[in-house]
Amino acid sequence: MLDLALEDGVIEYVRDGGFGGEAAVAVYLLNKLPGVGGTIRTQEGVVTAVRVEHNPTPGSGHVMFLRHMLVKKFEDYFFRSKIYNYAHIPRPLGSISRQDDPPTEACLYEWAFGAEGFPWEVAEYGGGTLHVRLRDWNQVVEHFHQVGIDLAADVTDSDNAKVSKNIIHQFPFDYPHDGELNPIWKRIDFGPASAPMDYEKIMRFLRDHQESLVTVLRGERYRMMVLATKYLDWSTRATLSDYEFGELETLIGYYRLSSLQHHISRGGGGSPGQPYSEDVAPTLFRSAPSQ
């Protein structure tokens, strides 16, 4: 069920977006998106996937946003470095963390249009088997593996390994003779089971590639990624100072605003209008979950 904080921002419920082991997704057309850093109001409705956690531990909605954000920012780095030519990660847009009765923990992200469940193998006319390949897939998996994020996990159906999962393709049945699908696809679901992350390896990558990351992404985005990784790693979250918590929350707010800017501007003047509502900006959950 959609969190009550979103009700006055709901233009329309669109459809059920899927149900998995970690969360359920519903699709809404929204013009008010809550999250760390503030609630952003838009002029244009945003087709938004609301991923609601089955196990709503305090702060887990914000954690999912941070995981998704890290994946997206690393992709921005790869994409802008010309490693591949089409972005394959939807934008994270916000998050909900409310310990009401019942509690709600959710991540909001840009809905990926297309279909899940294309076959990894198809029958050839001569009776053989054609293995289906996704253009850019190997580059994406290889470069995220170098970072410490496994995007090759959980991409086959649990009941049929020949059917894809967590990959949304806009033209999933346009097979050329060589079995390679075009690159118009998006990888979704960045929960721990679907996209395992090695935070120590991620932090090493951030430190080892600092100069390049800052050049490509800008210093404030790099700082946000470093602080987010430190927050996500239970072994280092307790070392965050109050200043660093506040800094991370502010950086997330600016990042979300930038991601939604094209939905906010009025007319051709580029005016941001009124991006933030009167709501108090939510804060990240300060304590690490009990072990």
Percent of the chain with pLDDT over 90: 66
Name the average pLDDT for the chain: 89
**For residues 41-52, average pLDDT:** 93
Averaged pLDDT, 46-67: 95
Query: Please, which pLDDT band fits residue 262 given cuts at 50, 70 and 90?
Result: confident
DSSP code string of 89-100: SPPEEEEEEE-S
* C-alpha to C-alpha distance for 193 and 13, rounded to whole angstroms: 28
Query: What pLDDT shows up at residue 130?
Result: 82
Indicate the pLDDT class of residue 217, thresholds 50, 70 and 90.
very high
What average pLDDT does the segment 50-69 reach? 95
Q: Given a cut of 70, is residue 265 above it in pLDDT?
A: no
Per-residue pLDDT band at 291 (split at 50, 70, 90): very low
What is residue 6's predicted lDDT score, i.e. its pLDDT? 64
Cα–Cα dist 200/13, whole Å: 40
pLDDT band at residue 5 using 50, 70 and 90 as cut-offs: low
What mean pLDDT is predicted for residues 136-150?
97
- Looking at 74-88, 90-104, 145-159, 165-179, which range is the least confident one? 165-179
DSSP 209-259: THHHHHHHH-HHHHHHHHHHHHHHSHHHHTT--HHHHHHHHHHHHHHHHHH
Residue 281: which pLDDT band, with cuts at 50, 70 and 90? low
Tell me the mean pLDDT in the region 168-183. Answer: 80
Q: How far apart are CA 165 and CA 154, in angstroms?
A: 7
Decide if pLDDT at 274 tops 70: no
Whether the predicted pLDDT of 269 surpasses 50 = no
Token pair recorded at residue 267: 């007319």
Q: In a 10 Å sphere around its CB, with 0-12 CB exposed, 13-18 middle and 19+ buried, how is residue 214 labelled?
A: middle
Strand partners for 187:
167
Give the global pTM.
Answer: 0.91
Higher-confidence residue: 172 or 48? 48
Whether 70 shows a pLDDT value over 90: the answer reads yes
